[in-house]
Amino acid sequence: ARLSNLSLSTSNAMEQALSSILPEEYVALIVGSATAIIILIVGLIVAGWVGNLVRRALTNRKLDSALVGFLSSLARWLVIAAAVIASLERVGVQTTSLVALLGSAGIAIGLALQGNLAHFASGVMVLIFRPFKIDDYVELSGKEGWVKDIGLFTTTLLTNDNETVIIPNGTATGGVIMNYSKAGTGRVPISVGVAYGSKVPEVIAILKQAAARCDAVKKDPAPVIAFVGLGASSLDFFVLGHCEPADYPNLVHQLHTAIYEELEAAGIEIPFSQIVVHNAAA
């Protein structure tokens, strides 16, 4: 509305000034073109001001920087689009049909890019609701790693093997999201099988000793160690160590190593699956 009022007042003043020295048909062309240029200039200035205003407002709300940048750019381009349409009207372009054409083109593009738009929508939801954030250790679509980047279309993980995994946001949010950093405590569960004939109290003591070897294992809550079952070829135990989220990847390696070395040092066998075949006499 302000741009329209500005264009009307500007064009009226220019028409009065030029009508006395130029033919009427030239006056309309010059006035329309000059007004269109003024509207564009003012629109660009206002667009920059609106973009900065939106950026400051969203930054104060502590939203993700990627989302802040996207929304501030969107606000700026909406103002620029309004200025362009107003400018075209001043030079005689029928903007109603142009807007309808752009709307139809937008629908066609949306249908063609619906997969990407789904990833985009998922990215916006991640940035707003924050099921995970930068430097969280997560499992997304079967991939575990540290979140290194959250974009509008993809999320980037750095795995324990130092591999960079780029996951489309629609895929990342389409299943269960395991955020090991969210609770503030990482959990490392390990299943251990030992040979039949092993003494259960002795095995439990050895597993406790293995957990105590790992500095990253928290004392509170204490490690959970239990005899949980009679397997086909082994006595089955369960070990659960708690740690800081940042220590989770290293503790997985350290705790497995400590358990294996302690059992080996004590002479306790870790069995492998066996099949016994009896040959019946003919």
| 6 lies in the same domain as 85 | yes
pLDDT digits (tens, 9 = 90+) for 162-218: 789 999 888 888 888 888 777 667 788 899 999 999 999 999 999 999 999 998 898
* Domain containing residue 54: CATH number: 1.10.287.1260
Residue 118 lies in a domain: no
| 25 lies in the same domain as 88 | yes
* Domain containing residue 150: CATH number: 2.30.30.60
Reading across the β-sheet that carries 224-230, which strands appear in turn? 186-194, 235-243, 224-230
Domain that holds residue 235: 186-265
| 221 lies in the same domain as 199 | yes
Q: Choose one of 61, 78, 112: the last residue of a domain.
A: 112
Residue 39 lies in a domain: yes
Angle between helices 114-129 and 65-90 (to 10 degrees): 130
| 20 lies in the same domain as 107 | yes
| 167 lies in the same domain as 193 | no
| 95 lies in the same domain as 169 | no
Kindly report whether the global pTM for this prediction surpasses the value 0.95: no
**Overall number of domains in the chain:** 3
Percentage of the chain exceeding pLDDT 70: 77
Residue 120 lies in a domain: no
Q: In terms of Cα–Cα distance, which of 165, 119, 175, 176 is closest to 143?
A: 165
Residue 125 lies in a domain: no
Please tell me the predicted confidence (pLDDT) of residue 214: 92
